[in-house]
Structure 1
């Protein structure tokens, strides 16, 4: 319907004087792609009114590390060590030649399926992330062309760029992990990513923007990262670089460069304000100072870190240094509310009950991501901001006196009711137009089962699947 749309609910999280504010029994007015008004009431004319009742009207979440494939990290939840369980390529697999374990059609479906899951969880701006463990080397431009089409169709706001790398990890049968490099292949991947970036940046009415995604820091050479920094800076595009996330990474980087990961980025001149750095769980205080000095963003992914015994040291301390913190889901489910809840719990376990409040984590999921992207029109509901809105249903939950605290204690992504992006209602009452949730879930599981069946190919010693993934309990035969 043309004209203004007025949304109302028990709670509205608006934005004023550089801070979120809460309106009880508030309204949001959308005009075109933007927010026209946020407040307690609105006296102007509107073409449509939607009253959500017992709900929170919230700015949509900004996911700086948004799952865009079928997450293989969940396979390692009770199955380790990683080198024994197909998370590091064995030398024998590399010798025979790594291959694509999904078809182009499967990869295209996974992006579309993942994008729908992001919307379903109130994520309105996403920077996709996928594993390269099951790839021949890096991501392809073709699959990101398909991703752009999926984002355009579904209405998701995305920053897109295929992941590339100049190196990889391999293990012998004793678990000794080393790095192998093919710089020419990696630089070719960067060139293809740069051409893709120029072609797609600003398409779909500005909802699709370019990003650069060099893979984990231990898989990148200096030339690759320097060139990435130069190209991205020239375009004004963000760069995401996974670093400071594992002891193996720290060892390989120190062996190669005689310093820590973020120190190396700083030394080669790559660490800049447009860089986003997941995960930081192994970062030192000196490295946090370098991040802060560069004006870069730390991307906190608490759920995936906690699942594997990791924790950021620590959210309150990093925030206290003035470092911008954004959030990433980086795992299944792509539930930003659950992600925030785990972030709250782990921060309090690390630094005490009074070290963090609910609004600190909510800021990271909204304003922190927007700041990382240099977007004052995202992550907030204020006049002139993009009408990117998540509506969370509270009818079936026990509410506290504050809506943000209720999000941290009583709801999940499954309570998402409606989602608006760029003024378009992309999900209504839990339904995304053009998406058959049940059929897509079955198709995704079939593809995932097919990948699991191929795990022996890329697992040290090539054991059968039954030995790679051990069951929780005995399964008696009939």
Structure 2
């Protein structure tokens, strides 16, 4: 079947970059786009006219929220040591346990993938937290994840996360590292088995991803074997790196080099590497190494950095110059990483923070942010058939409604969306030519039931915090409302 989508605006791709069509059309058949422009000369079987809307390439989330996001719990609730987002020594000695059942683990991905689709994201590299897990992820869990992704129709790069260590809080409140290298290597073996079994399944919706949890929780052998496996399978490696001062200094102490220097040494500093968050390099004013060595490593390599501005801004951090990285030729993609799973929200915050830190409005543009969420993500994955609307590209297409009163007086589609829009303005989504969302509804999803289950499950997660937290404080000392409870102040229950 040949389908024609029409709208008042279409973002096409001319071979060099995005361009804007007024009263444009996108025509596709099967899973491929045939035509972008105006006045398609052929015949079509079906036409959908979305009216005052923007048709654009599906967004690519390189660090997609795949969880019921626990990082939101850090908002004004103290540091992770106090609130149970870092294991205590007592909890480690008792033996870590799984907070969710297998069915609840499945549900969190169903909920997360549905939310990603609702926000215009068509390709996702999901990320979840390990702190409420017994250790890391496993093969069967991701067989279930692949099944859910295929059912919902989202394009997903996935594989179980693995790690050989974890940081914890000692009884004297200092931080220690617990290592279990055998467990990490066994996790890598499961990840490789998953990649070999599932890569290309779902008519290409599922692609294998190697996902060591974070650089400071990996041993040299684990990263070296990951690099070798990535080269053998031609699989991307997504590794959280250069995301905190603690990580930078710990890696420097353990490995006698910076995190980027260690990636270079293990063979991971290459075009298959996808690195969230890329903030703390040598030369950064908050780290101990003032040299420009990491900048030289970064600009000489072909790695991609994943910019996740919202989650860092929430705690006072930021990439110090998006424009400088882009001007140096470093490939930048975008990620959500936290709730809301909204790349429009991250484009807006990323644009504003970049301009504040750069001191002007000339180094980072609205186009730079949109390019990162589309072409930058595609480049990170080695794909020239994603992130663009052009003949021959995959029919990953989203439609953003432009009629919402919250958008204000209309003047330009993408500027209106990035200034005042939100991901929930996404009205329709096609992935590989399949309509996975129409009129704001994802398939046959019961949104109310989905949200009710998410609320129940998140309450269970919150209730589990005292068991992990240093000193096992009661729940009311971990989570604080913005203002004190009136009943408590009055001596009530």
1:392 aligns with 2:390: no
> Following the alignment from structure 2 to structure 1, what is the Cα–Cα distance between the partners of residues 262 and 268?
9
> Following the alignment from structure 1 to structure 2, what is the Cα–Cα distance between the partners of residues 31 and 286?
49
Once the two structures are superposed, what CA deviation does each residue of 1:158-207 show, in whole Å capped at 9, x if it has no partner? Answer: 01101000000011244311211100000000001100110000011011
Once the two structures are superposed, what CA deviation does each residue of 1:252-298 show, in whole Å capped at 9, x if it has no partner? Answer: 11110122111111122221110000001212453243233220100
Q: 1:60 pairs with 58, 61, 64, which one?
A: 58
Q: 1:459 pairs with 457, 469, 476, which one?
A: 469
> Following the alignment from structure 1 to structure 2, what is the Cα–Cα distance between the partners of residues 23 and 399?
20
Q: 2:163 pairs with 148, 158, 165, which one?
A: 165
More displaced stretch, 317-326 vs 242-251: 242-251
* Secondary structure of 2:441's aligned partner: coil
- What residue number does 1:341 align with? 348
Once the two structures are superposed, what CA deviation does each residue of 1:278-323 show, in whole Å capped at 9, x if it has no partner? Answer: 0012124532432332201001001111111110021001111100
| 8 A Cα contact 1:241 1:276, kept in partner | yes
- What residue number does 1:76 align with? 74
1:368 aligns with 2:376: yes
* Secondary structure of 1:10's aligned partner: strand
Once the two structures are superposed, what CA deviation does each residue of 1:9-45 show, in whole Å capped at 9, x if it has no partner? Answer: 1110000032001001111001110110000221210
> Following the alignment from structure 2 to structure 1, what is the Cα–Cα distance between the partners of residues 354 and 39?
37
> Following the alignment from structure 1 to structure 2, what is the Cα–Cα distance between the partners of residues 399 and 453?
45
- What residue number does 1:150 align with? 148
* Secondary structure of 2:427's aligned partner: strand
| 8 A Cα contact 1:288 1:318, kept in partner | no
Kindly state the Cα deviation for residue 399 of structure 1 after the two structures are TM-superposed: 5.0
- What residue number does 1:294 align with? 301
Once the two structures are superposed, what CA deviation does each residue of 1:339-370 show, in whole Å capped at 9, x if it has no partner? Answer: 11111011011112222111010000000000
| 8 A Cα contact 2:227 2:266, kept in partner | no
- What residue number does 1:310 align with? 317
| 8 A Cα contact 1:178 1:252, kept in partner | no
**Structure 1 residues 75 and 315, CA gap change in structure 2 (3 angstroms):** same
- What residue number does 2:285 align with? none
- What residue number does 1:438 align with? 448
> Following the alignment from structure 2 to structure 1, what is the Cα–Cα distance between the partners of residues 104 and 172?
34
| 8 A Cα contact 2:402 2:413, kept in partner | no
| 8 A Cα contact 1:84 1:175, kept in partner | no
Taking structure 1 as the reference length, the TM-score comes to 0.98
> Following the alignment from structure 1 to structure 2, what is the Cα–Cα distance between the partners of residues 425 and 399?
30
* Secondary structure of 2:439's aligned partner: coil
- What residue number does 1:106 align with? 104
* Secondary structure of 1:292's aligned partner: helix
> Following the alignment from structure 1 to structure 2, what is the Cα–Cα distance between the partners of residues 323 and 348?
18
1:427 aligns with 2:437: yes
Taking structure 2 as the reference length, the TM-score comes to 0.95
Once the two structures are superposed, what CA deviation does each residue of 1:387-410 show, in whole Å capped at 9, x if it has no partner? Answer: 001100001233553322222112
| 8 A Cα contact 1:59 1:390, kept in partner | yes
> Following the alignment from structure 2 to structure 1, what is the Cα–Cα distance between the partners of residues 391 and 408?
31
Once the two structures are superposed, what CA deviation does each residue of 1:195-242 show, in whole Å capped at 9, x if it has no partner? Answer: 011000001101111000001110001100110111111111100010
- What residue number does 2:329 align with? 322
- What residue number does 2:286 align with? none
| 8 A Cα contact 1:257 1:264, kept in partner | yes
- What residue number does 1:34 align with? 32
Once the two structures are superposed, what CA deviation does each residue of 1:41-71 show, in whole Å capped at 9, x if it has no partner? Answer: 2121001111111110010000110111111
> Following the alignment from structure 2 to structure 1, what is the Cα–Cα distance between the partners of residues 152 and 266?
40
| 8 A Cα contact 2:85 2:465, kept in partner | no
Aligned positions of 1:259-274 closer than 5 A: 259-274=257-272
- What residue number does 1:414 align with? 424
> Following the alignment from structure 1 to structure 2, what is the Cα–Cα distance between the partners of residues 201 and 338?
31
How many residue pairs get aligned? The number is: 476
| 8 A Cα contact 1:163 1:214, kept in partner | yes
* Secondary structure of 1:223's aligned partner: helix
> Following the alignment from structure 1 to structure 2, what is the Cα–Cα distance between the partners of residues 363 and 286?
28
> Following the alignment from structure 2 to structure 1, what is the Cα–Cα distance between the partners of residues 174 and 246?
10
> Following the alignment from structure 1 to structure 2, what is the Cα–Cα distance between the partners of residues 294 and 354?
26
> Following the alignment from structure 1 to structure 2, what is the Cα–Cα distance between the partners of residues 467 and 343?
33
1:282 aligns with 2:280: yes
> Following the alignment from structure 2 to structure 1, what is the Cα–Cα distance between the partners of residues 440 and 296?
43
